[in-house]
Structures are given as C-alpha cells and as structure tokens.
Structure 1
Amino acid sequence: MTQYIGPEAILEKKKKYIMPCLAHFYKEPKQFVRGSMQYLYDHTGKEYLDCFAGISVINCGHCNPEITSKICEQVQSLQHVCNVYLTENFVNLAEQLAEVTPGNLQKSFFCSTGTEANEGAALLASIYTKNSEFIALRNGLHGRTKLTMSMTGISMWRTDPNPVGGIHFAPNAYCYRCPLDKKYPDCDLACANAIEDVIKYATSGNVAAYIAEPIQGNAGIVTPPKGYFKRVKEILDQYNILMITDEVQTGFGRTGKMFAIENYGVVPDIMTMAKALGNGTPISAFIASAKIADTYTKPGASTLGGNPVSSTAALATIEYIKTHNLCSKALARGAQLRSGLELLQKKYPLIGDIRGIGLMLGAELVHPDKSPASIELDFILEEMKDRGFIIGKNGIERNVLAFQPPLIITEENINTMLNNLEDVFAKIK
C-alpha cells in the first residue's frame, strides 16, 4: 500500500518551499491522491464528490479512461519535439477547434495556460489593429502575467505594483449588485452602453480590443443578461474594436453549448481557451478568423504549446464531449441543480442570488442587509468537505458557492449533494 506523507507534512513543506502567494481551501485541508470520473479520494481512502472540477478543468471526469488511455499511448511513442517541427496532432486539433468554435474562427495558436492564451490574444489584437489600448470589465480575471494581470479587474489578483497603462475598465453586468444602481430589464443594458462612454472619454480612440469572460467565474459566476453581448458587439464594431472572449472557465460544454458565448448569439473576433480543453493536461489556445490571424507573421512559437501529448488529450476530450453528449447533459443536470438551489433559497434567505448557465452555477450568500456572508460560506465548505463533497468558492468577497462539477455528474449525485447541503444550511443560526 502506498504511504503518503499526509496534510500536515505537506503544509510544512509548502510553508518552507512554496511562495506564500499560493493559498489553499479549508482550515483542515486533505491530501488528494486519486481521482476517478466525478470522484476524488484522499490519503485515507475517503471518497469525495467533486463539484468544482479543479476549477472548471475536469469536464470529462478525473482520469477518464477513454482519454487517459490515449494519453498513455502517445507518451510511449512521442512526447515532445516542439512545434517548430512537423507533428500531426496539433494540426488535427486546430482543425477540430475550427469546427467546434462559432462563426468564422479558424486559425489557432497553442500554448500551455489560460494566461498565455489571453496574452497572445491581446498581442494578436494589437498586431491586427495597430492599436495598443484595451477595454476590460470590472471584476474580470484574465491571468497572472504583467499584461493579463493589468487587464484583471479584481484588486486581490492585481499584485503587480506597477500595472500596464492604457487599460480601461467598464462596468460589468452584475445584475444582483448593479454597479450603476439600476434594475434589469428597465436599465436598457446601461452597463453595455457605458462601454461607449469609456471609448469616448477614457481612451485615446485607438483601442485594440475589448476582453471579457462570457460568465465571470472568479467574480462569482456573474452572468450577463441575454442581450448584453449583442449590444457590446454593436458598439465595438462601430469603433472598429475587436471582441476577445475569454472562455478559459466557460468552454467545452459547461454551459450547454461548446462555448458560453454561443448562448448570446455573438461571434467574437478572437477567442481564448484552456482548462477543460485538455481535461487536466496543460494546453491552451487562442483562435481567430483567417483575416485577423494572418496578420501574425513575425516569428512566434511556444515551446510546449500543442505538444503531441497535450494535443492528444485535447483531441480525446473533444471527442468524448461529442460522443457522450456532455453539452445536453450539462443543461439537464444544471437545470436540476438550479431547481434544487432555488428550493433551498425559499427556505434559507442566506442564499441571496442564484445565477449561471448549465453546470456553471453560483449561489451568493448574504446577510439580511445584503452584506456578504463570507464566514458562513467557509463554514458550509468545511462541513460539506467533511461529508464528502467538494464545492468551490469565489466572488469579490468570497461569498459565492461555486458549482462547476464534471459534466458526467449524475442525477443521483446532485440529489445527494443537495440533501447534504440542506442539512448544513440548517446548522447555521
């Protein structure tokens, strides 16, 4: 039997050898040692239903045998030569992405992380437009490099003391806590209209792109109303500004569509993706129309981007999503989960708002005065962990329960989780 050092020893080594910027969930964290589809197992053998999927990564399940068998086969034949040499997998993957992404998105650039994809998309936008300014949204999260951190609208993630200039923030579509103090639909999408004011009064007029997550994950599953992105695209097109959609958390079936922006009937000019693309294998990409992509002609490469193993994982992931109808499953299980949360909300006003699409749902916890109930959320997470359920947390005040499980989660799984969640809510005075 494998011997594990255990959580206490890991925390000791973490304190000694890992930079202190990396935090962890739970007062009493567990050491996870194994995963199998929608389940995780700790060093004692205890089973947990994973309702967070490694933050929206494991859409097809942990160690999915249909995917990992192909990865193992590839590792044993060719692991890496760099994409300046010819291999087959990454061009086949690029072909697949051209097929599954909306509209005329066609040509891809592969890298390893969502941060790199967003950085690359911003570069491509600047090359194509010959402009250098950007518009981003308040509460958006786009990465940890200097540029992507500067485009991030959450202060806790903007750790660079000297952010890049020329980035302007527009109000986000956070209807529960509207930054413009309006109510949808009477607001006439004022947050979208505000983007034109930013263009006119905050920029030089030379804006390369607007970047946004279709659903703001780290912000607390902030989900814009239906017409938001259409209105935004109309404004951007009027000023010849590109739209970049960051699908790092929302992509690959999670919202019932392959990509979340498809729920809004809009085709972006550039799209980024990572996380679920490789179902746990590091791979990311940004994709654009040929017209835009073909302006990127100076040398550019990513040493590990689109390597044979990661490309194999991504091809197998896309195939699994298609053949097992994970988009429709995400819609069905998402509707079930939302219905269960709404029943809890009627009983427990601690749940102030429920939002999201498909299996990307957030429940914002608040006190009677609508102030964030962050302490109560931490109690719920700890209790649910002890009962064998892993739930995420996000939101600016870390008061939003985040449900982003593997898309293969079952009806019985969700019912069991909801029953336990109700028991935990009943404990809160």
Structure 2
Amino acid sequence: MTDINSTPYIGPEEVVRKKKEYIIPCVYHFYAQPMQLVRGEMQYLYDHTGRQYLDCFAGVSVVNCGHCHPEITQAICDQVTTLQHTCTIYLTENIVNLAENLAQITPGRLQKTFFCASGTEANEGAALLASLYTGRQEFISLRQGLHGRTKLTMSLTGLSMWRTDTSPVGGISFAPNAYCYRCPYGKRHPECDLACANELEAVIKTATSGRVAALIAEPIQGNGGIITPPPGYFKRVKEILAHHNILLIIDEVQTGFGRTGKMFAIEHYGVEPDIMTMAKALGNGTPVGAFTSRSEIADAYTRPGASTLGGNPVTSAAALATLKVLTKYNLPDRAAELGRYLKCGLTELQKQHPLIGDIRGHGLMVGAELVNPDKSPAAAQLDVILEHMKARGILIGKNGPERNVMAFQPPLVITRADLDNMLNQLAEVLKLLA
C-alpha cells in the first residue's frame, strides 16, 4: 500500500498481523479497525493513506509542544550528528544544563536530578531515594493511581487492570483518592472536610507499621480517569505526612510541563513535593525520565549509580529545546486558556446529553466521564464514540478503571478552531447515540 507520495507502507492489516506474531500480547492498540500512522505535524497525525487526524491525546500527554516541532527537531538533528551517546561516566554539557534548568522551574527547593529513560524508571528511582533517605521500606499509594510497569511500580499502582504481577511487592498500603464524583463516603466538597485526605491518618495507623518511607501520588490521576482533587487536598495530605515524617513523592509523568495550565500540576495545590518524578512531555517524544529532590534528600544517594541512556546528549538536547519552546510560546498559559474553553464547550454538551456525567481536570488535561442513567459506567458507549470520532478524523483517548472516561490531552499547540471542530463533531456523534 502507498500514501499520496507513493512511499511504500505495509498497511494496518499487515502491521496487526506482525504484531500478533512478534510482539508480546500485552501491547494493545485502540480501535476495531486501527490506522497505520506514519507522520506527525504539530497537532495533526497522518495515516498511510495521507489522511489527517486531529490528535487530542498527544501520545498520552507526551507531545505537549506538538508532533515534530521544528525547533525541537532541529536541536535533535544538530546533536545526533555530533555526539549521539556517552554514558554518565563521561562528562557532557547537556545533562548538567538540563538539570540546572529543571532546578529553576520545578516548585520549591527541588534541586538535584537523576535522569533515566522512562516514567517507570523515574518512579522506581524515587522510591529507592525515599528509602535511602528515611531508612524505611513501606509505601502508601492512592487508589486508581498508575506509576509504572516494573515489579515495584506496578505494585504501587492502584488500578487492577495494570496490576499484572500475580505476586506484588509487599509493604504497600492504599489510601482513598479524591474522586469527588463517586465519593466513597457519600459526601460533597467542601462540606466533606476532605474526608478522603483525613482517611490517610487511619491508613497509617492501621495498615502500616508506622514506619513509612513515602506516599506517592499523581496530582491528577491520568489513567485513573483524570481524577482531580479539590482545593486543599494535598495541603491536608502533606500535613498528615509531615506529622509522621513521611515523604511526599509527586508523580508528574502525565501532568508535567504545561499540561494543566501550570508548568507542574502540583502548583495548583500550593504544595512542595519532597521528591518529584517526570517523563513523557519533558522530551516531547524522546524517551526520557527523571526524578528530582531537595539537596538533603538527594545527597543520601551516594553509592555508585549510572543510567546507560538517561540524560544522553540527544535526549538532553531534546529536553532543553522542549523547555525553551514551552516558555518561548507561553504554552502553560495557552493550555490554561484553551482548557477553560474546552470545559465550557463540554459543559454545553453535557446540558443536552446526560451521558456526560462529570467533567473535570485542569488546563488541557480534561476528562468527561460517561455514565448510564443509573450512573453506572458507560464504557461501551465511549468505545462507539471513539470509533465515530476516528472516522471523522479526530483521535480522543479513554481511561478510568472502567474505561468510561473520555480523555482530552491534546498537544498544547492546538487551536480554538481545532477545539470548535472537535466539539461540533462530538455533538453530532452524541446525537447519533441519543
């Protein structure tokens, strides 16, 4: 099969055939009839036939600056033709410049960084650092959180669909998340007095030995369904943790780098993490991960450590260029403005379609939870909607424990006209289901 430029592609059917034969089956894909993507340009993707798609998922919150952003691409090309790789045992400049830049933009006193190649590695390393500093081995995580695919990070994950390991790591307790739409206590904010956060005290006292190294949490739970805590939640959590000398690890793998209208989502809550993890959008598509901490915590990690690919010259060049683009074009502010516009548009659709039960999120990280009249998850309807939208040239994500949350996490370079087009197409699809 060929595209409009007569470049040969094997086509989606052959990709699927080879995938079944040569890829471990846990690697799944969206859509009953998937397309073969071959090119990206800013907020658009193109398949093997040359058809254009508006990307409203950004590779799951990765290409915040857009696909193949020319300034980032140029930085990668310049670097890859001069020095592509050295391990951290040799001195290069990009890695230290990147660490310096992160120290300048991360919240509070976070200063020293370790670079790796993925968010999973970043969370694994953050847990190790917490144990080294505190001398403790237990952890607390939140229900519906997702922190990775290694044995430890999978064990820290509070979503059963991602907990493949039949023998998870012990010493991990789970606290309630701030799922206001389905509050397990049947309360409403603010009258609830943050009951979900207060429950953390009981978890510490009843489910742990009292010697917990850290609690790990996403400021907004991405795969958990764009679960967005109310104001004051993390301040209450931090107060409880401080009382018990427990560190707070904030996982910004999906939420970082302008996605939520601020450089980092935890800034919405006015809390300083003890350790923070990053990945995804830091490299705008180049594999990268990092964890960063205050000096006194970071300095507990003194025995020899290295990452073969972490912070390599090309990755660091891509990340440095990404940070420059984010600030040069004010993409966090753009995400805040367009996010408000998107939520207003979804709210208008919600008035006409009770299938949309809840709308939540910050910036361009917005979730619309689809429900049946009895408030049960409407996962089947969401699958139909995503197929229809794909057929109309628009790619939207899905997440949540029941996979019934429509996820909008587009490149931050998306335009208001793009959002209008998406909302108009979604309105027509929702009418088909009514």
TM-score class, shorter? over 0.9
RMSD, aligned CA: 0.5
**Match of 2:180?**
175
**Match of 2:256?**
251
The alpha carbon displacement at 1:179 in A equals 2.2
SS across alignment from 1:271:
strand
C-alpha separation in 2, matches of 1:179 and 1:59 = 34
The alpha carbon displacement at 1:23 in A equals 1.1
The alpha carbon displacement at 1:341 in A equals 0.1
C-alpha separation in 2, matches of 1:166 and 1:182 = 30
* Corresponding residue to 1:189 among 170, 185, 194: 194
The alpha carbon displacement at 1:422 in A equals 0.2
C-alpha separation in 2, matches of 1:80 and 1:62 = 23
Cα shift readout 1:243-272 (whole Å, capped 9, x = no counterpart): 000000000001111000000000000000
The TM-score, its normalising length taken from structure 2, stands at 0.98
The within-5 A match list for 1:29-428 is 29-428=34-433
Aligned residues: 429
**Match of 1:11?**
16
C-alpha separation in 2, matches of 1:260 and 1:193 = 22
Instruction: Tell me, yes or no, if the aligned pair for 1:171 and 1:180 is still in contact at 8 Å.
Output: no
The alpha carbon displacement at 1:185 in A equals 1.3
SS across alignment from 1:376:
helix
C-alpha separation in 2, matches of 1:416 and 1:144 = 36
Cα shift readout 1:107-143 (whole Å, capped 9, x = no counterpart): 0000000000000000000000000000000000000
The alpha carbon displacement at 1:196 in A equals 0.7
C-alpha separation in 2, matches of 1:219 and 1:121 = 21
The TM-score, its normalising length taken from structure 1, stands at 1.00
SS across alignment from 2:406:
strand
**Match of 1:26?**
31
C-alpha separation in 1, matches of 2:219 and 2:29 = 26
C-alpha separation in 2, matches of 1:308 and 1:394 = 34
Output the amino acid matched with 2:54.
L
- Structure 1 alignment gaps of length 5 or more: none
C-alpha separation in 1, matches of 2:337 and 2:61 = 18
C-alpha separation in 2, matches of 1:179 and 1:141 = 20
C-alpha separation in 2, matches of 1:11 and 1:201 = 48
Fraction of identical pairs, as percent: 70
The alpha carbon displacement at 1:180 in A equals 2.5
The alpha carbon displacement at 1:187 in A equals 1.0
- Structure 2 alignment gaps of length 5 or more: 1-5
Output the amino acid matched with 1:187.
C
SS across alignment from 1:45:
coil
Cα shift readout 1:166-223 (whole Å, capped 9, x = no counterpart): 0000000000011232221111101101111111111101100000000000011000
Output the amino acid matched with 1:81.
T
Instruction: Tell me, yes or no, if the aligned pair for 1:172 and 1:179 is still in contact at 8 Å.
Output: no
C-alpha separation in 2, matches of 1:202 and 1:338 = 39
The alpha carbon displacement at 1:103 in A equals 0.5
